[in-house]
Chain A
Amino acid sequence: KAGVTQTPRYLIKTRGQQVTLSCSPISGHRSVSWYQQTPGQGLQFLFEYFSETQRNKGNFPGRFSGRQFSNSRSEMNVSTLELGDSALYLCASSFTHNTGELFFGEGSRLTVL
């Protein structure tokens, strides 16, 4: 059974640009969550999607957005990048939105110059 796949794994952007990250969950998993990981703040919840609907959103500015497609694949977008957006972005999937542990992908490491 394939795990959670995130693309791209590494990317470098400059301030003001935008970026789109992709996540393919484990087959059969319908819930996808996104987390931002930085050395100072740890793992911070961005948002969760279930059946193409955003279930919840963390305390991030509107520059951070996401969506989920009918095949449960998810994308997140960050517009007008800032230096502080440099982080490891982790996607996690679970079977449903209210039960079960999370299964994480390898992450997308974003560097903003």
Chain B
Amino acid sequence: ELKVEQNPLFLSMQEGKNYTIYCNYSTTSDRLYWYRQDPGKSLESLFVLLSNGAVKQEGRLMASLDTKARLSTLHITAAVHDLSATYFCAVDSRDRDDKIIFGKGTRLHILP
């Protein structure tokens, strides 16, 4: 069964600092997605990573995918308060298990 593990699950950090969220998964897949969820809101797609070595950047966020290591990272550069949210990675195993499985999410709290 596909397992998706994120760490850390909770992160409190100061504005201006850099940090990385990790997403490990247990099966072969070259399709991974990152989503953001604000409190009381739905999930919003951030990045779509579709191949080994894929790197996507949007503002202060950068996501990468290493399919050989079964690892994706979401890097935050010079964090600002507006980035406070919960971030989910989701692994697309639909060509194998016909499912998209989400990690438990990383709750990011950025202190002003």
Contact = CB atoms under 8 A, between A and B. Distances in A.
B42 A107 contact: yes
Chain A's interface: helix, strand, loop or mixed, by majority?
strand
A101 B99 contact: no
A56 B98 contact: yes
B105 A102 contact: no
A21 interface: no
Contact of B42 (A56, A58, A97, A104): A104
Contacts of B88: 43
A84 interface: no
Interface residues of A, number: 21
Contacts of A66: none
Interface residues of B, number: 21
A48 B43 contact: no
B41 interface: yes
B101 interface: yes
Interface of B: 33, 35, 41-45, 48, 88, 90, 94-95, 97-105
Interface of A: 33, 35, 42-43, 45, 48, 55-56, 58, 90, 92, 97-99, 101-107
